[in-house]
Amino acid sequence: MRIPRIFSRQPLATQQEVELDESASRHLVKVLRLDTGHPLTLFDGCGGEYSAELIGTGKRALARTGELHPQDRQSPLALTLAIGISRGDRFDWVIQKATELGVAAIQPLFTERCEVKLFGDRLQKKLGHWRQIAISACEQCERNLLPEIAEPLKLAHYLQGSTQEPSAMAKLVLHHRTELDLHQWQAERGKPDSALLLVGPEGGLSQAEIDMSLGQGFMPLRLGPRVMRTETAPIAALSVLQFQWGDL
């Protein structure tokens, strides 16, 4: 059996007893049926991971940490995904897969064609849900640094702030009506060490929003002749960027 990887909200140190949360405890004890003495891997999102051992199997399982292993498995390309919020579980799926593909940050956006309305307690609950999806994805894919899931912003507000991004960053907006592809971008600019990818929700970004992003220094990017769904386009684009400039 693969050694289970568990995220700890409690800061970790070597030779420390750690009380795991109820969800992790239930998974280890009720689902995997592990007994005391079973090896675990724990990480707290601050970097590195700890070898550990299960020492208690109650409602809140206990583990004891061992040695710290410093590897984080981060991509050399710092990727930010700024994306319009989509309906149903599509956005959950994007967060999960983007985390597996190594994004450093995800910025949810309210755009003209965004049909999801979030505010107040409902927004905070949804944000917590998205962050938990990223945590679970990190447990599965062996990342030790969590991607930042930022609070949703209106697109215009976000674009104004994007002018502060470093000039070396590749700022790209998916736009299936452009002729520019990644090879042309790299030929003109060289290889970046960071990239910001802007993607619309269902129905895509409006022409006014695309024009607004171009005015803020984004370059249009085409992924080929086919129009992809909102949950397909960012995953395809992130995969291409990681292959071209990252660690795939």
Predicted pLDDT at 164: 59
Domain spans of the chain, in order of start = 5-69, 78-245
Predicted pLDDT at 179: 67
Q: Which residue has the tokens 């051992």?
A: 53
How many CB atoms are located within 10 Å of the residue 163 CB? 10
Taking 70 as the pLDDT cut, the residues of the chain under it are 1, 162-168, 179-181
Q: Which residue has the tokens 């007893």?
A: 17
Q: Which residue has the tokens 């998205």?
A: 130
With H, G, I as helix, E, B as strand and everything else as coil, classify residue 104. Answer: coil
Predicted pLDDT at 96: 97
pLDDT digits (tens, 9 = 90+) for 223-242: 878 888 888 999 999 999 99
With H, G, I as helix, E, B as strand and everything else as coil, classify residue 197. Answer: strand
CA distances from 152 to 84, 108, 112, 116, 125 (A): 9, 5, 14, 11, 12
pLDDT digits (tens, 9 = 90+) for 134-154: 999 999 999 999 999 999 999
The class that CATH gives domain 5-69 is mainly beta
78-245, what's its fold? Alpha/beta knot (3.40.1280)
DSSP secondary structure code for residue 163 in this structure: G
Predicted pLDDT at 167: 57
Alpha carbon distance 200, 166 (integer Å): 23
Strand partners, 81: 106, 197
Asked if residues 163 and 212 have their Cβ atoms less than 8 Å apart, the reply is no
